[in-house]
Amino acid sequence: MVRHGSVAERYRGRCYGRSDVELGDEGRRQTQDLAERLSALPITHLFHSGLSRARELADQIAGLTGLAPLAAVELQELDFGDWELWTWDEIHAAAPDALDRLLREPATFSPPGGETAFALCERVLGWYRRLPPHGLIVAIAHGGSIAALRGTLAGWPASEWAGLIPRAADVIEVTEQVTVADSGRSVPQAGMNEPDTTAALLTTRVGHQFGQLVLCKGCCCGRTAGGFPEVPVERIKAVWKAEKLNRAIQLTISGCLGPCDVANVAVVITRHGIDWFGGLAGEAMYDLLVDWARACQAAGSLLPVPRELLAKRVDRFVDSIA
């Protein structure tokens, strides 16, 4: 994964998201240098986001290698809607906590006319899971889309994705996960331009989690005082810890995920996609998820979620609002 070069100086300090802004002089120098370096690699597939600041690098690599670049709009930056091309100061003045809420409430908060962090994640992950299983794939994308993919593959909560945003013209190698000693956390490996600050802490043990289960315990889910069924969080956490189920399926207890009209909500994230479930009433429903994690651990592979849960799937997002 490659982040495009630096944009023109007049866009510095502005939120340009999915706007098609051009590279600056420094960005064009970075692009030429990257094209020469990357074209020396045995690239088999070449993608770009379709925006000119990413397409320019793909076109230069294509000219040096003969590869046919493919546009993948799923790789584009977060859609900031009405805030596109505003200054960050203007956004902060209009909505002081907006940027924090984007990552703190990834399923429900979006800029006016824009998209949520989870919507960004779903489209990037959709592109990723359609990639061929073999070959050296180079994709020129954007800070937010790269961070969302890295964070999801590593099982990090959205609130920490900002720390995974690469610098302009950085190259990030997306391979297997590694586990940091003492913390048990998995992080994406450092890329060509990225200082490997965790190298001294790495063990030889490679993480092989098959997915992540996110349980909502927010404004509605589990609030029995409001008439909603209980979410047996403490019991599930105890089972996960006692049986070491995190080795197979990472468990995350989240704040509000929405949609509140189908509380209680659970989300299953794997390399094959993101599945939303709602209306999980009673411990038996949650036990199905626990048993699924146990089965994945016992089989040593990712298994389908129980058929009994399919009736609880939620069609979470739409392409347009009439």
Nearest to 31 by CA among 140, 137, 138, 136: 140
Amino acid at 122: E
Convert 19-42 into a string of H (helix), E (strand) and C (coil).
CCCCECHHHHHHHHHHHHHHCCCC
- The tokens 């209009």 sit on which residue? 94
pLDDT band (50, 70, 90) for residue 61: very high
Amino acid at 154: A
Q: Which residues neighbour 129 within 8 Å (Cβ) at sequence distance 6 or greater?
A: 271, 272, 273
Q: Can you give the pLDDT at residue 302?
A: 86
* Residue 303 confidence (pLDDT) above 80: yes
Instruction: Read off the pLDDT of residues 196-246 as tens digits, 9 standing for 90 and up.
Output: 333 333 333 435 688 899 998 877 888 888 788 889 999 999 999 999 998
Provide the CATH topology of domain 2-175: Rossmann fold (3.40.50)
137: which DSSP letter? Answer: E
**Beta carbons of 14 and 149 less than 8 angstroms apart:** no
Q: Can you give the pLDDT at residue 318?
A: 64
CA distances from 170 to 20, 199, 273 (A): 20, 18, 26
Instruction: Look at residue 211 and give its three-state secondary structure.
Output: strand
Instruction: Look at residue 231 and give its three-state secondary structure.
Output: coil
Whole-number Å distance between alpha carbons of 236 and 240? 6
Q: Can you give the pLDDT at residue 274?
A: 87
CATH code of the domain made up of 211-312: 3.40.30
Whole-number Å distance between alpha carbons of 302 and 212? 11
Average pLDDT in the chain: 85
pTM of the model: 0.59
273 φ/ψ angles, rounded to the nearest 5 degrees: 145, -170
* Residue 247 confidence (pLDDT) above 60: yes
Mean per-residue pLDDT, 272-286: 89
Q: Which residues pair with 7 in a beta bridge?
A: 23
The domain locations on the chain are 2-175, 211-312
Q: What percent of the chain has pLDDT over 70?
A: 88
Instruction: Read off the pLDDT of residues 79-109 as tens digits, 9 standing for 90 and up.
Output: 999 999 999 999 999 999 988 898 889 888 9
pLDDT band (50, 70, 90) for residue 119: very high
Whole-number Å distance between alpha carbons of 269 and 250? 9
Instruction: Read off the pLDDT of residues 144-194 as tens digits, 9 standing for 90 and up.
Output: 999 999 888 887 888 888 888 999 999 988 864 433 333 344 444 444 444
